[in-house]
Structure 1
Amino acid sequence: MDMLKARRRTIGAVVAALAAALLPWQTASAGEAPASAPPPEVLPSLRQWQPGSGTFVLTDRARIVLDGVRERRTAEDAARFAGELDGRQRVSRGRARAGDIVLRQDASLKRSLGAEGYRLEVGDRVTVTAATSAGVFYGSRTVLQLLNDDGRAARGSATDVPAYRERGVGVCACYINVSLPWFERLMKDMASQKLNQLWIEAKVRSDTDPESAFWGYYTKPQIRSLAAMAKKYHIDLVPEINSPGHMDPYLEKHPELQLKDKDGTASAPRLDISRPEALTYYTSLVDEALDVWGSGTWHMGADEYMLGSSYPDYPQLQAAATAKFGASATPDDLFVDFINQVNAHVKKQGRSLRIWNDGLLGRNTLVPLDRDITVEHWLGGGAIQQPSALLAEGRPVMNSAYALYLVRGGYTTKTRELYESDWTPLRFEGETLPATAANLTGAKISLWPDSAAAETENEVEAKVFMPLRFLAQATWGGPKPSATYAGFEAMARRIGHAPGWGGTDRAPLADGTYRLTSGAKALAPAADSGVALVKGAKAAWTLTATDDGYYTVRSADGLCLDAVRGKKYLGAPLEVGAELSLGACSAGARTQRWQLDADHGAFALRNAISQLRLTERRADGAAVQTTGGTPLRAGA
């Protein structure tokens, strides 16, 4: 199977010899499988596996047979599944025969298999049976891993139902821009590991509030593309615009809505929830975003509103709470009321709401948080409500513990430590539950860009490989696949990424020296350590591939093309129109790394950190970064 990654699987010399002697569409039959035969190497591990005897062999004659499939979505998944195998198996609705892979859908099994579980049988054919299209899809992910060696799979059967209904990944594309190809690779990997939820904090380029459209945003067509990707991979999207804190990407141009302290000093990240127009403004952004995302869930953040300060610094919040709820009210009542009003707003549209937990300090004595709001618990300690208390109130709670964080330039998930300590979603920050609860939804790993210029998105992609697989294992809930973390990682590396994950050519040019031209102009050094597109320039640039899939672009004087000018967010240079420059080359400077986007035989230079492209400023030819880009041809 040319398109599948090779990995070793020991089945036994006798079984291998028997299988090799069979006709292409037949399967092996051997004696009883040894009682100690290991379960199949798949991640997350199967919840239950009953070994059989013999080996199934996939051949060119095999078909993917749809049985009881009425949903168009399942049929579309089956067509992609055929391509993920090796492209030679056609999809059929005919009668199954030995050697086929059968995808069976039976809605009557919903009670036993749930919304995502499936039954797997490997005999003279491979049969995946599920109640839903999601269950069939997850069964096909297991089959891909089973046949990830040479098209052979040990016979046996399994019933595989997840322990937790939410198995999530969070990506804060807040302030910064994370590329769409990166997101699709992430979703492919998530699907292969049966992770089903993707939270994204990102700014939609707004027509409702055009003033907020400075860089870091995504266009509406891009968001619709993300939504379509997620649907294809059976992933629920959970978009967020944080409020009432962390709103500076929107409030920068709205000083009238910024919370001002008792001295009149404005706090750009904080929305002044004492003002009625604050809710109107925020919900207008929510409505516009939900219309584009099309998701059934909205996340409003609601974290760190008083980070580095406290309510007494803002007496208008106490005054508004008193005016609305009486003399015994607290600013926390006003805060929770704001959340409840957002909840009521999204519920009218048939959506549900989620928040982070750290603002829930128990001081909202008059206004309880609505019980149907999901609380994602990431921070414990102090007066913060414990997850057990939140669960006892009957509200949905998700474990989004800080232990599951991966921060650019900061904390990285200690995957080995978590694996070796048998971490489960019962272990929160500050409290471990004695037993699970029906309203404990699952767990999520969160990716944050706190030092956005410290690492590229490709470096983050490499670092998250094992944390993703650990979280999938912990939330699906199967037996520990290896007694040691080293064994777990070795297995994960053998299985590798999802089929089709590595389809991007990250190094389209060989290392070497080139002139970078656009028509009659060429990129050249300019005054004040700048760069420009200059007519007839002969400047040469040395392009060298980096380990994380980018290039450095070095001038003949030994200086490197850089993007460090203009306004920065979280250390990332995100100002559209900021001039590019030349600086001393540094292996650690991620702003000196450039992606080459193919563009009809030419290349556009995209900065690895800002995700903005090099283009020409018409007024003077200076090279600047912007959302568009000038295609350059690389020649001798």
Structure 2
Amino acid sequence: MRPLKPLLGALALVVASAATVSVTVVPATAQTTSNPRPQTIPALQEWTGGTGSFSYSSATRIVRSTAQATTLATTSQVFADDLRALTGRAPAETTGTPADLRAGDIYLALGSTDTALGTEGYALSVTDRISITARDDKGAFYGTRTVLQLLKQSNSIPQGTARDWPLKPERGLMIDAGRKYFTAQWLKDHVKELAYLKLNYLHLHLNDHQGFRIESTSHPEVVSADHLTKAEVRDLIALAAKYKIIVVPEIDAPGHLTQVLNAHPELRLVSKTGAVQNGNIDLSKPGTYTLLRDLYQEYLALFPGPYFHIGADEYQIGNYSDFPQLETYAKATYGANAIGKDAYLGFINWANDIVRAAGKTTRAWNDGIGGGSAVTVNPNVILEFWYNYGQSPQALIDGGHLISNESWDPTYYVLYQGGPGGPGSQWGYDTWTPDLFQGSQTISEASKAKNLGTKLHVWCDNPDAATQDRIASDIRDGLRMVAQQTWGSPKLTTPWSNFISVIATIGRNPAWPSTVQEGNLAAGNPVTASSIETPSLVAANAVDSELSTRWSSGYSDNQWITVDLGAAVPIERVKLRWESAYGKGYQIQVSNDNATWTTSYTTTAGDGGIDDLTGLTGTGRYVRMQGIARGTTYGYSLYEFEVYGPAIQSGATYQIKNSGLAIDVPASSTTAGTQLTVYSPHSGANQRFVATVNSDNTFTLKNVNSGLCVDLNGSSNAAGAAIIQYGCSGNTNQKWKLAAVAGGNALVSAASGQAITAASATSGALLVQQPNTGTALQSWTLTKV
């Protein structure tokens, strides 16, 4: 599929920052109490505010209704995993009844008699505890997504009650994984992202002219070098099931088959003049049906979901009379009145019979439907309307089909030669609805239930025009537009330029892969800027620890971005990760009041890339990049604006990790001489160490639980000497220095010059000293806690 005209893009606006945009809240229902409708994407359908708030803490439990404990087990476990990703600690999971609840608990239950909620709706009650009640496990799951979004904003959730349900049953994302290879991990990351937004549908377009991207045992000759293995697909499907996502495969035929036909040139369609159709298969040949039946049956068995997509779009052969073999085949198969087009329409019904024999429902694109003489496509095929050619969406519904709205405006994101374009998120949010089809076509009110919903579509016509990370960044806002419009709830705010601030508040799902650097003081802190180039390139993107998002300023030299660290701290290092629009001349400045600035660094010779500025001096609460001269005709654009204090801060408490394990005092011992180990990270005091920076720039580490210091046993110079805890003395064998190594820092003894080393990367391994060779077992990260 591809659009036939340019896509709509976001309008450029120049404002101070998304964080400073005034948001006008439109209530879902009349508010009679103090708490306004909380910010979620999609917005809640109904909200009645209370007073006060719920508080999430280490004592919070997820309590499943005893009567539905088994049914709700996976939802509870996924919720606990997501809360671990958000807070670093998974809440306890248990079962019980409302009488067993205590303040701070989150209760999950089924059995709601509110039929209007359907299978995906839920009721939410927030007091000093939270209750999520639904008719189906899916509804309970979506209730946990609301709570997760609210906890992403704060440990306190406003008290009140809500009823919430979707407008459309299908809401999701389509990925053109045929033209461009997407890794299994990228797809898994988006499963969690879709679920975070209450989206429930992942459509994988697995083949196209440029590739066939899934392992095949029936026809390995058609598979591209870069492809998903069946093991990866099974893992993806299993993860999607936990997150209530339907995975729909598409094997596109009889067009879009160049990669397949490169291995089977004998099946290519050839005109009566000898012109070869490289991407179209000849529907008159028996081998065509053998090949496609093999592939269909192989993947019908692999994908357990209810749908199988056969594509059937853009069989662009021109005039059917140029291919007399198709008419001959059609007449022999469908009767004397058949014409060449009937060979194509009959193919859809043939494929549909295979799909239905496997217990599934066929889906196909709409553009080729109709125009036959002897064959009509079976009305039990769901048609995805993307192209306003041929039968209208109303005519398709009147013909008995269920449909979905896949109109290129505003749901297409396309990789063109010049880069990606779209989706038209601003128009999509402000004007469009899922019942407005391409070409401004509409359907009757009574027919709207036959329109299943819509998806955001990633089409990779020029697969090298953008990386996976760039695509993830570019579709972030479009997914949130689709989530809001398909849920159909009253909007929290209008227009789109205001909704951008809600997007920034909700952020990514807690498990989204982060590029956060240990010790980066700017990460996640409030940020303002002199301007933004477009509503999606906000200042918050520069401190979100994602290299796939960026801030971009207006097109002038005097632009700035400022991060508020919350308190005055010494600044020793700033790292600027520039996009191609970089600063040739700029200053790094610090301030205690956001008014009077001291310059710590100046350059007039910046060349873009990554500027890692070390050895800075100055103390301040606010840190600013003040532009002086742009390096391009555009503005200034930063993927990340990172700020660091001293590597070790005196009085700060740290958890010290290596290979996913943390330095640990075994069994919380308070005995001097106990040898330290590594153990699974947790929040206990026996894994917390307070640093004291000494006048010689070394530091000591005191365990919070025992009050004893990290010590090189006996001041030994021997490799393998034990690292223990001992009474704090200030002696050299309790002093340590940092030395940069791959992936972190070595902790080097001031007494011996050797480094603290874990005996192995397994929990319980002892700590010893060894010569500092920079190995993985000597690479530590110190995280302030």
Q: Please, what TM-score do these two structures have when normalized by structure 2?
A: 0.59
Distance 2:170 2:60 in 1: 34
Q: 1:466 to 1:378 in 2, by over 3 A?
A: same
| In structure 1, distance between residues paired with 2:294 and 2:517 | 39
1:136, 1:125 → 2: CA distance? 16
Alignment equivalent of 2:150, drawn from 104, 125, 146 = 146
Q: Write out aligned runs for 1:282-293 (5 A).
A: 282-293=292-303
Structure 1 residues 225 and 84: alpha-carbon distance in aligned structure 2, compared to 1, 3 A threshold: same
Q: What residue is the counterpart of 1:609 in the other structure? A: none
* Counterparts of 1:312 and 1:223, CA distance in 2: 41
The CA distance in 2 between the partners of 1:60 and 1:102, in whole Å, is 16
Q: What is the DSSP-based 3-state SS (H/G/I as helix, E as strand, rest coil) of the residue aligned with 1:74?
A: helix
Q: Distance in 1 between matches of 2:225 and 2:197?
A: 33
CA contact (8 A) 1:170 1:446 kept: yes
Give matches, 1:94-243, under 5 Å: 94=96, 95-106=100-111, 109=113, 111-202=115-206, 203-243=213-253
Render the CA deviation track for 1:398-449: whole Å, top value 9, x for unaligned.
Answer: 000111100013531111122222x111110121234252211111111011
Change (3 A) 1:125 1:37: closer
Equivalent residue letter for 1:115: T
Q: Given the superposition, is the C-alpha separation of residues 546 and 343 from structure 1 closer, same or farther in structure 2, using an over 3 Å criterion?
A: farther
Measure the CA separation in 1 of the matches of 2:80 and 2:491: 32
- Structure-1 separation of matches of 2:335 and 2:21: 70
* TM-aligned CA distance change 1:494 to 1:224, over 3 Å: same
SS in 1 for 2:448: coil
**Map of 2:48 onto structure 1:** 50
User: Any conservation in 2 of the 1:105–1:129 contact (CA below 8 Å)?
Assistant: yes
**Residues 457-502 of structure 1: CA distance to partner in whole angstroms, max 9, x if unpaired?**
1111111011000000000110122121111111111110001112
Return closer, same or farther for 1:245/1:88 CA change in 2, 3 Å cut-off: closer
Do residues 365 (structure 1) and 373 (structure 2) align? yes
Q: Given residue 417 of structure 1, which amino acid in structure 2 is its aligned partner?
A: W
CA distance in 2, matches of 1:505, 1:99: 30
1:379 and 1:9, CA in 2 relative to 1: closer, same or farther beyond 3 A? closer
Q: CA deviation at 1:158?
A: 1.1
Offset of residue 53 of structure 1 = 2.1
Instruction: Tell me the percent identity.
Output: 34
Shift in CA distance, 9/462, structure 1 to aligned 2, threshold 3 Å: closer
Q: Which is worse superposed, 141-150 or 250-259? A: 141-150
CA distance in 2, matches of 1:251, 1:230: 32
Whole-Å Cα distance in 1 between the matches of residues 159 and 76 of structure 2?
Answer: 26
- The CA distance in 2 between the partners of 1:394 and 1:325, in whole Å, is 22
Which residue of the other structure, out of 327, 339, 342, is the alignment partner of 1:333?
342
Letter in 1 for 2:386: W
Please state how far the C-alpha of 1:351 moved relative to its aligned partner. Answer: 1.1
Alignment of 1:11-30 (within 5 A): none
Q: Distance in 1 between matches of 2:257 and 2:123?
A: 46
Q: Give the corresponding residue for 1:66.
A: 64
**What is residue 263 of structure 1 aligned with on the other side?**
273
Q: Which amino acid aligns with 1:220?
A: K
Q: Distance in 2 between matches of 1:410 and 1:495?
A: 25
Deviations 1:562-588, CA, capped at 9 Å, x for gaps: xxxxxxxxxxxxxxxxxxxxxxxxxxx
Q: Whose radius of gyration is greater, 1 or 2? A: 2
Shift of 1:602: 9.5
In structure 2, the partner of 1:90 is 92
CA contact (8 A) 2:42 2:487 kept: yes
Whether the 8 Å contact between 2:21 and 2:498 is mirrored in structure 1 is no
Measured in 1, the distance between the counterparts of 2:308 and 2:109 equals 33
Choose the corresponding residue for 1:313, options 315, 318, 322.
322
Cα pair distance change 1:410/1:147, threshold 3 Å? closer
Q: Could you tell me how far apart the structure 2 residues matched to 1:54 and 1:42 are?
A: 19
Deviation at residue 331 of structure 1 after TM alignment: 2.0
Corresponding residue to 2:438 among 429, 432, 441:
429
Partner residue, 2:413? 406
Residue type of the alignment partner of 1:89: P
Q: CA RMSD in A?
A: 3.1
Q: Alpha-carbon deviations, 1:186-213, whole Å to 9, x = none? A: 1111111000000001232212112112
Q: Structure 1 residues 419, 79: closer, same or farther in 2, change over 3 A?
A: closer
Residues 510-556 of structure 1: per-residue CA shift (max 9 Å, x gap): xxxxxxxxxxxxxxxxxxxxxxxxxxxxxxxxxx97759xxxxxxxx
Q: Distance in 1 between matches of 2:303 and 2:181?
A: 17
2:126, 2:159 within 8 Å by CA — same for their partners in 1?
Answer: yes
TM norm structure 1: 0.72
Shift of 1:295: 2.7
Match of 1:569 in 2: none
Deviations 1:96-121 (A, max 9, x none): 12221111122x64844222111111
Where does the alignment leave 5 or more consecutive residues of structure 1 unmatched? 1-6, 11-31, 508-543, 549-598, 604-632
Judged with a 3 Å threshold, the aligned counterparts in structure 2 of structure 1 residues 545 and 59 are, in CA distance, closer, same or farther, namely closer
Question: What is the aligned residue count?
Answer: 491
| Distance 1:224-1:546 versus aligned 2 partners, 3 A rule | farther
For 1:427 and 1:41, locate their aligned partners in 2 and report how far apart those are by CA, in whole Å: 26
From 488, 506, 529, give the equivalent of 1:495: 506
**Which residue matches 2:465?**
454
1:44 offset after TM fit, Å?
Answer: 0.2
CA distance in 2, matches of 1:354, 1:197: 13
Give the aligned residue type for 2:42. Answer: P
**Equivalents in 1 of 2:86, 2:469: separation in Å?**
26
Letter in 1 for 2:59: R
- Residues 49 and 157, structure 1, Cα contact 8 Å, conserved in 2: yes
